[in-house]
Amino acid sequence: MVISATVVLASLSWALVLAFGSGPFAGSSAALLAGDLLIVGTVVAVGMVLSRGRWTRRAALVLLGGQAAIGVVVEVDGWWIAAVVLSALAIGSVAGPWLTGWLRRLPRADGPPPRAVSLSLGLIALPALVAVTAPEGVPAGGWVLSVFSLIAAWTYSQAWLPALWAVRVGLPVFGIVAAAGLPWAGILVLGSGVVMLTALAWSPDVLRATMTPTPMPVDLIPIPPELAPPEILEAAGLDDRGRPRRQGEK
């Protein structure tokens, strides 16, 4: 789909800006931020094509808005101009009326609850928050938190209950370790993100998304052969009274 492709291209362009341009981010911070932008952009684009959920439009706009904020703090060059053009094209495509007929108007009956989707997206985007709060270089604790959040997001998306408990217990611990040594502003921003994701992880809706519903037992009701279509009885080798047809009988 063309619109989802613009989201990926915009994310790729800003990743290249961070990789080859000049800005306030150290090498490790720029690499982590660039990689996570690509991951989030790909996830949103794939969700837009496959799930057609309404959340994809909101997530895409948040992602593109964050990329625009990056453009404010990096220096202007050829990569920057290309990224701005692609971002403007992506924002216009996502915000325009072209997605209205494609995205679902109502959520899927068997789909995950909105809070479960928010938790998965938040975990995927957490490494970007780690990079932003540590512009002078990502410490070891920040890398651990980033790897943990990505693995937790993938395992939770598979409706694996231990992954949810890992988020509930491990995310605050790794968040404290990652925040150690950051300036007060970084501690406040990263801590707020970790607290919000942890609170989401303890939501009943998030737990419900990991539960596989058990089919309700039903009583089998026999259908009288008189009500069955003749072609079905014939295909099953039965006569019009539901008895096995004899050899050569029509």
**Can you tell me the mean pLDDT for 138-144?**
93
> What is residue 160's predicted lDDT score, i.e. its pLDDT?
86
> What is residue 223's predicted lDDT score, i.e. its pLDDT?
65
CA distances from 139 to 29, 32, 67, 80, 195 (A): 9, 11, 23, 27, 20
The radius of gyration computed from the CA coordinates of the chain, to the nearest angstrom, equals: 26
**Can you tell me the mean pLDDT for 112-129?**
91
Q: Are 104 and 200 in contact (CB under 8 A)?
A: no
Tens-place pLDDT, residues 151-171: 999 999 888 888 899 999 999
- Average model confidence (pLDDT) for the chain? 85
Tens-place pLDDT, residues 204-228: 888 887 875 545 555 566 667 666 7
Which string of DSSP letters, residue by residue, matches the chain? -HHHHHHHHHHHHHHHHHHHS--S--HHHHHHHHHHHHHHHHHHHHHHHHT--THHHHHHHHHHHHHHHHHHHS--SHHHHHHHHHHHHHHHHHHSGGGTTTS-SS--TTSPPHHHHHHHHHHHHHHHHHHHH-TT---HHHHHHHHHHHHHHHHHHTT-HHHHHHHHHHHHHHHHHHHTTS-HHHHHHHHHHHHHHHHHHTSHHHHHTTPPPPPPP----PPPGGGS-HHHHHHTTB-TTSSBPPTT--
Tens-place pLDDT, residues 25-49: 898 999 999 999 999 999 999 988 8
Q: What amino acid occupies position 24?
A: P
> Is residue 73 very low, low, confident or very high in pLDDT (cuts 50, 70, 90)?
confident
Nearest to 13 by CA among 87, 124, 75: 87
Q: Are 29 and 66 in contact (CB under 8 A)?
A: no
**Can you tell me the mean pLDDT for 10-35?**
89
pTM of the model: 0.78
> What is residue 250's predicted lDDT score, i.e. its pLDDT?
54
